[in-house]
Structures are given as structure tokens and as C-alpha cells.
């Protein structure tokens, strides 16, 4: 049962990172002068999302 929860968590994290990448690419295309700031925010958001996915993995292992 924990494996199903982890799978859903990973799918959610993948969708979130994909949407963030889409938004960052769109923002950089519209205003190239803010590319550095947008990229920094994107990397931070991706790291936090991956951290949540890893926490879900640890919880799935503990519950198992």
C-alpha cells in the first residue's frame, strides 16, 4: 500500500516540476532580461518539490 502512495507522490512531483519548467520557460521567453532570477527560483522550487518526493519515499518505507 505504501508503494502506491509513493507512486502517486512521484507522479505529483513530476507534474509540479513540469509545470514549473513550463512557467519558467514562458517567463524567460517573454522577458529575457530576468532569466537569471527566474532560473534561480525554478531551481529552488524543483529542489523543494524533489525533497517532498523523497520525504514521501521515506514515509512509504517506514509505514511498510
Q: What is the pLDDT of residue 21?
A: 92
CATH number of the domain to which 51 belongs: 1.20.20.10
Which residue range(s) make up the domain with 9?
2-63
Reduced to 3 states (helix: H, G, I; strand: E, B; else coil), residue 10 is: helix
Q: How many domains does the chain have?
A: 1
Q: What is the pLDDT of residue 8?
A: 77
Q: What is the pLDDT of residue 2?
A: 62
State pTM to two decimals. Answer: 0.76
- Looking at residue 57, the DSSP 8-state letter turns out to be H
Q: What is the pLDDT of residue 60?
A: 77
Query: Rounded to an integer, what distance in angstroms lies between the CA atom of residue 64 and that of residue 62?
Result: 5
Per-10-residue mean pLDDT for the chain, 64 residues long? Answer: 73 88 94 93 91 82 78
Contact 4, 59 (CB under 8 A): no
Count of positions (residues) in the chain: 64
Amino acid at each position: 500500500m505504501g508503494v502506491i502512495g509513493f507512486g502517486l507522490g512521484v507522479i505529483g512531483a513530476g507534474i509540479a516540476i513540469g509545470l514549473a519548467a513550463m512557467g519558467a520557460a514562458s517567463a524567460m521567453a517573454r522577458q529575457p532580461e530576468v532569466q537569471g532570477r527566474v532560473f534561480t527560483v525554478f531551481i529552488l522550487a524543483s529542489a523543494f518539490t524533489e525533497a517532498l518526493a523523497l520525504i514521501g519515499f521515506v514515509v512509504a518505507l517506514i509505514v511498510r
